[in-house]
A = this chain, B = another copy of it.
Amino acid sequence: MPRSDAARPGLPCVVILGGGFAGLEAARALRGAPVRVVLVDRRNHHLFQPLLYQVASATLSPADIAAPIRHVLRHQGNAEVRLGEAVGVDPAARTVRFAEGGDLAYDFLVVATGARHSYFGRDGWGAHAPGLKTLEDALEIRRRFLLSFERAELETDPARLRELLTYVVVGGGPTGVELAGTLKEMARLTLPREFRRIHANLARVVLVEAGPDILPAFGQGLTAKARRSLEAIGVEVRTGEAVTGVDAHGVTVGRERIDAGTVIWAAGVEASPLGRSLGVPLDRAGRVVVAPDLSIPGHGEIFVIGDLASFSHGLQGPLPGLGAVAIQQGRAAARNLLASVAGEPRSPFQFRDRGTMATIGRGSAIAQLGPLRLSGWVAWLAWLFVHLMLLVGFRNRVAVFMEWLFAYLTTQRRVRLILGASRDEAPPSG
């Protein structure tokens, strides 16, 4: 991307790095404003991460929860979308460097490159315990889960069979809980009738959380309810136990060995490495510590938002990496940016907590909406409604609603394809 390209004379150029909740919302909030917007993402699609686990569990297709960023912004005349991977920022020169080569000059920069899952330095674990951050991750988890049943169907050695049908989910946050719940349900309801040898309902799903409780973001009462619901459908919940080892055949929890054919990592995230190149203080998780107006110290023209930002003004501890935080920060950054363009003062960011929810399974969820605490059916319906409304693009809403209706009524999963197993040129038999 030759520099001249973006730094056209005239309107100030706003470069946004990342097309997730934060970056996309910032771009939308600049619609019709007297600026040129260039949004750059290494993927061509915006991903609705809260439903990623449903791709992993073969309920939804990737296209149901992802939309091309270009398509989302197609009617926004002042916005331009580019595919590219930012590898560094030069605040002094006001340029962004890209892996593909070339750099891009900006007048304002919005960095929203998010977080990746972290193995706390044990990167070797990654090969045996995929995380769930991208569509590729979800498809890989789906592949391993479906493959484990196919292999179990042919397995004659009892020990190996037990291993194949044991699934360990590491991390008791919303993603871990939703994955554990949906995997167990799929094993209980969807697959049994289609296998002749194995009793799929013998599948063992273990949810391991190092902290004292699952879903710590929720209050005591709801957390206990969530735990009971998980245990009611047969998920083993183990809290206060840290995973000390992961290999091709299972995990070690504390001192106990659990042989498991499938291990999924939902334990922790680390901020995108791009934050380091800004040359400003980071917090322990590698997130960029931002000022009240979401800009960084010494560079009012650079905003950092979403999972990459560490915002803790007037709070105890920084805001969590939630979609709601990212979206509100995207709007706030755009507002403050335009204030500067207009020569007006900026205003500090304030997070409006509209609540959090998590699903456990069929007709079971917990939700904390301000003073309101919901669980069971009511919470589940609320969850369905909110997530349908949040989905980007009307088409996806309809498609997803149909999939859910189908999955709920039939307890079947439609998207049970094992792909990418063999990359050779040969066709499937027949």
Interface, chain A (partner B; CB < 8 A)? 1-2, 5, 17-24, 40-45, 47, 61-64, 66, 68, 70-71, 74, 80-86, 100, 112-117, 126, 131, 133-137, 139, 146-147, 150-151, 153-154, 156, 193-196, 272, 306, 326, 395, 398-399, 402, 406, 412, 414-423, 425-430
Q: Do B196 and A19 touch across chains, with their CB atoms under 8 A apart? A: no
The CA-CA distance from A20 to B429 in the complex, in Å, is 7
Identify the interface centre among A82, A86, A306, A426: most chain B CB within 10 Å of its CB. A426
- From A123, which residue of chain B is reached at the shortest CB distance? B425
User: Is the pair B429, A40 in contact by a Cβ cutoff of 8 Å?
Assistant: yes
Check A63–B20 contact: CB distance below 8 A. no
B429 touches A112 (CB 8 A): yes
**B-chain residues with CB within 8 Å of residue A1 when the two chains form the complex:** 154
CB distance from A129 to the nearest CB of B (A): 11
Where chain A touches its partner, the secondary structure class is: mixed
List of B residues within 8 angstroms of A21 by Cβ: 430
Oligomeric state, in copies: 2
Please give me the residue from chain B that is nearest to A140 by CB atom: B423
Q: Are A306 and B425 in contact (CB under 8 A)?
A: no
Contacts of A126 in B (CB 8 A): 425
Take A63-B61, A194-B68, A194-B71 as given contacts and tell me if A19 and B428 are in contact as well, using a CB distance cutoff of 8 Å. yes
Kindly list chain B residues whose C-beta atoms are within 8 Å of the C-beta of A17. 429-430
Across the interface, which residues of B come within 8 angstroms of A193, CB to CB?
74
Chain B nearest CB from A270 CB (Å) reads: 10
- In the bound complex, do residue B85 and residue A19 qualify as a contact, i.e. CB atoms below 8 Å apart? no
* Docked CA distance A101–B400 (Å): 41
Q: Measured between alpha carbons, how far is A134 from B195 in the docked complex, in Å? A: 25
Q: How far is the CB of A55 from chain B (nearest CB, A)?
A: 10
Contact of B62 with A430 in the complex, beta carbons under 8 Å = no
Q: Please, which residues of chain B bring their CB within 8 A of the CB of A406?
A: 395
Asked if A66 and B417 make an inter-chain contact with CB atoms under 8 angstroms apart, the answer reads yes
Report 9 cross-chain contacts, Cβ distance below 8 Å, ordered by A residue: A20-B428, A21-B430, A22-B430, A42-B422, A66-B417, A68-B417, A83-B150, A137-B425, A399-B399
